[in-house]
Amino acid sequence: MRTIGVLLLPGTRVFDFAVVNEVWSVDREQHGVGPFEMRLCAPGKRPVPLHPAGEARPTHGLTGLTGCDLVIALGRADPGAHVPASVRVALRAAHQSNATVAALCSGAFTLGAAGLLDGRRATTHWALLDALATAYPAAEVERDVLFTEHDDILTSAGVVGGLDLCLHLVRRDLGPRAANTLARRMVMPPVREGGQAQYVDAPIPTRPDRGDIASTVDWAMARLGDPIAIPDLAARTRMSVRAFHRAFIAAMGDTPGRWLLLQRLRRAQLLLETTDLSVERVAARCGLGTPANLRRRMRAEFGTAPAAYRRTFAAS
């Protein structure tokens, strides 16, 4: 991986453009990384407006992608923006000539337009996952990973996930020493723990209009640390468990058990972010009982452990 071709299209995101330049354009030969040849490629070799500001001046037209070891499609402000036929052809030709082809963030849509995601695993920013799955149903969309790799086609999660992908490529092709050196220079971990589910916005719990369910939700939210269970919730509404289950789904759009678990996990996230309570006390306060249960539940839901989540998100 010595020659890197960067595909530039109108609306390319400044951050993605900066990421690839930080990884492959900065001279780090004295630290044992590089040298690399970076080709900035755009249709007609015309200047490309960036989003939200600025302009990139290509060094090559699309023919510059020929002979590259790595071709990268950057994210665009409008993921569904038109991808010219000449770009689609160039991307397919690069892959067929054994180049690794990667996309950062919403750049996955560009690869999808070229047909390179069909039958392959792919991801993108968490807010765009449904749109990617709808636009390219033949792709196997992964929803809780920082990047994917399938048949030398790679895609990344949103924003900083592009850095994770770039470091992975350096590690894969140049070895862990080069990747670790690069990570230290950029002041980031060589490998981040967990997937992107831990970064998804946790919405404020919905409060239903129906009075008996609403009062039960309020009651439960005030007692998440207590050993309450579904029969306790049903008893509050003076319903059988079966009737309560149906009424709760109708009001909340989720089962009572799933809802209760998510509220407890969100309480755990808040405590990990804002307090220095031990993992044992966090587990107790959010009603998950033991540190082992908290770890298991967070792994299953967010792809990370309590300690790793705290290192990432705790307030200074």
SS3 content of the chain, % helix, strand, coil (to 5): 50, 15, 35
| 289 alpha-carbon distance from chain centroid | 30
Residue 187 has what pLDDT? Answer: 57
Containing H/E element for 72? strand 70-73
> Are the CB atoms for 291 and 249 separated by under 8 Å?
no
- Find residue 6's DSSP bridge partners: 40, 72
Q: Is the per-residue pLDDT at 107 higher than 50?
A: yes
- Does the domain formed by 3-196 have CATH 3.40.50.2000? no
Digit-coded pLDDT (tens) for 30-45:
777 888 999 999 999 9
> Are the CB atoms for 9 and 42 separated by under 8 Å?
yes
- Find residue 219's DSSP bridge partners: none
Residue 167 has what pLDDT? Answer: 85
Distant-in-sequence, close-in-space partners of 125: CB < 8 Å, separation ≥ 6:
75, 105, 106, 157, 158, 159, 161, 196
Digit-coded pLDDT (tens) for 232-246:
999 988 899 999 998
Digit-coded pLDDT (tens) for 253-267:
788 998 899 889 988
On the question of a cis peptide bond just before residue 35, with omega within 30 degrees of 0, the verdict is: yes
Angle in degrees, 0-180, between the axes of helices 256-274 and 241-252, rounded to the nearest 10: 60
Which sequence spans correspond to the domains of the chain?
3-196, 211-313
Fold for the domain defined by 211-313: Arc Repressor Mutant, subunit A (1.10.10)
* 3-class secondary structure, 136: coil
Q: SS3 string of 145-177?
A: CCEEEECCEEEECCCCHHHHHHHHHHHHHHCHH
pTM listed for this prediction? 0.64
Digit-coded pLDDT (tens) for 121-163:
999 998 899 999 999 999 999 887 888 999 999 999 876 778 8
> Are the CB atoms for 16 and 105 separated by under 8 Å?
yes
Residue 209 has what pLDDT? Answer: 47
Residue 129 has what pLDDT? Answer: 93
